[in-house]
Amino acid sequence: MSDVKRLPAAEPHLPMMMGMVFARVRERLAAEAPELRPSQLRVLEWLPPEGLTITELAECAEMTTQGCGQFVRQLADLAMVEVSVAEHDARARRVRITDRGRAALARSAEVLRACDEAWADQVGPERYRVFREVLAEVALGAAGESAVGEQSGSSRGSVRPSG
């Protein structure tokens, strides 16, 4: 790719700018934490220690059960998750993160923290803090106000395991 700085011909709208930021994040994750693609990370980061069924996980990640099942198979093939029969229903499968999955999540979290730090350095810590608060409020609604700054993923999902 050339060093030419590409700028859109039209005034950048929010989804376009978010896509540009996400492209930078994807590049950095690929370079520094290559074991997980961002799409796999999206699924893996929703798993609490006790696990979720594929249906619950799909609901948390806002994807179809079929699509989530495909990601779970990929993650199981990479030994990032283990899949077992759910206690409450023999037809359902419970997905739990493995030590390897937790290690991959930790490496990805380090990359994402470094991105946050770089952006805060770029625009200033106070402006970046306000940006994060506003973005959380827009993205998560009222729940976003308390979610900013939480580092624990255990309280994030609105779906809790059944059974």
User: What pLDDT digit, counting tens, does each position of 66-116 carry?
Assistant: 999 999 999 999 999 999 988 888 888 999 999 999 999 999 999 999 999
Per-residue model confidence (pLDDT) at position 86: 82
- Write out pLDDT tens, residues 8-36: 788 889 899 999 999 999 999 999 999 99
Q: Which of 78, 64, 77, 5 is nearest to 35 (CA)?
A: 78
Separation between Cα atoms, residue 135 and residue 76, nearest integer Å:
33
Question: Residue 146 in contact with residue 156, Cβ under 8 Å?
Answer: no
- State the pLDDT at residue 142: 65
Structural domains of the chain sorted by starting position, each given as residue range(s) with its CATH number in brackets? 14-148 (1.10.10.10)
pTM of the model as a whole: 0.74
Tell me: pLDDT of 4 over 90: no
